[in-house]
Amino acid sequence: MVKGRRISNLSFPEHYFMRAISSLALALALGPLAADDATAQSNACNTQLDVNLPAQCDELEVSHPIEGLENFRQLTTPDGGIKPGILFRSDQLDELPDAAIAELNEIGIETIVDLRSHDELETHPNSRIDSVDFDVNLPIGSDPADIAKIMPIEIASQIRPMWFEGKFHEIDELLEEHDVNLRQIRIDRYQDFATKFDPQVSRFLHLLTDDNNFPLLFHCAGGKDRTGFMAAVTLLTLGYSEEDVMRDYLTTNVYTYGELEQMVGKGPKSLRPAFGAHPEQIEASLQIIKDKYGSFENYRRDVLGISDEDVEAIKQNLLVQD
């Protein structure tokens, strides 16, 4: 494979706006977010908040080894079947401190797959990591002209001052008045992941067939939605179950619990579908695959063009061999 750094054009994703809302909450200093990993995990796994948790939450090995990355972790499974140090998922890699860059270089990340849009790459470019030899941009997002499908701009502009003033009830009323159903919008977006971005998903899986591309890190902005879908497709391709997919997907809620504690505990109810990982959202992706194509295997083979031989190559690269 000929390797080189490249960035291709992409489109505006729905997570971009929600990431800005999260930044607003942090700017308001609604509460301390820092905690050691053990305390954060204990708080998450025993929370009384309306937050979905992964199966066997207490058994997860949670750590934040890279400063500045809240949702960086290896793709793992309960059976330990995926090789350690080979495949990582993460939030975006912009403005990383020198210590974080050094840690990523130490890991030896060879390939970075960025699922963000061109606008995101322009405004939040990834930090340079010397070990990386191959940058791939596979945008999973909407066209800028489709932003009204997320939320009309005039409504979004009204939310900002309300948020700063702590008028969360007014935010709920505003969205209800304009019939903005964020829960359904989010479900629709997750269905889009599985129906509108076949070339990107196919390309990602084909990258996993080449052992020269590892260690590989894939990410979006928060490491939850687009990254969560790619992780799901990878796990299903490896032969893991939807239960395993859900466990990995909901692990984000443990890693990012400090932020969720503020958003879910104190933020407006109408915006909660955007905060954290929600089972119904990833389930929407998996269900539409089955509804449209009959099975994940049909989708993988006939839509994504990933042959049985490709699957064996991916397994050879990613799975611990007996």
pLDDT, tens digit, 9 for 90 and up, residues 221-252:
899 999 999 999 999 999 999 999 999 999 99
What pLDDT, on a 0 to 100 scale, did the predictor assign at position 187?
93
Rg (CA), the chain: 19
pLDDT attached to residue 150: 64
Q: Please determine, for residue 177, whether its predicted confidence score (pLDDT) is greater than 70.
A: yes
Q: What is the mean pLDDT of residues 150-164?
A: 81
The continuous run of DSSP H or E covering 159 comes out as helix 153-164
Residue 153 CB partners (closer than 8 Å, separation 6+):
147
Length of the chain: 322
Reported for 261-264, long-range contacts at CB under 8 A and 24+ positions apart, including other chains, are 261/31, 261/33, 261/43, 261/47, 261/49, 262/25, 262/26, 262/30, 262/31, 262/33, 263/22, 263/25, 264/49, 264/50, 264/51
Residue 156 tokens read as: 């979004």
Question: How many CB atoms within 10 Å of residue 219?
Answer: 24
> Could you tell me if 113 and 219 are in contact, meaning their C-beta atoms sit under 8 angstroms apart?
yes
* Average pLDDT of every residue of the chain: 86
- Report whether pLDDT(111) > 70: yes
pLDDT single digits (tens) 23-53: 444 333 333 344 578 877 888 999 988 899 9
| Tens-digit pLDDT profile for residues 95-105 | 999 999 999 99
Q: Is a pLDDT exceeding 60 seen at residue 11?
A: no
pTM confidence score? 0.88
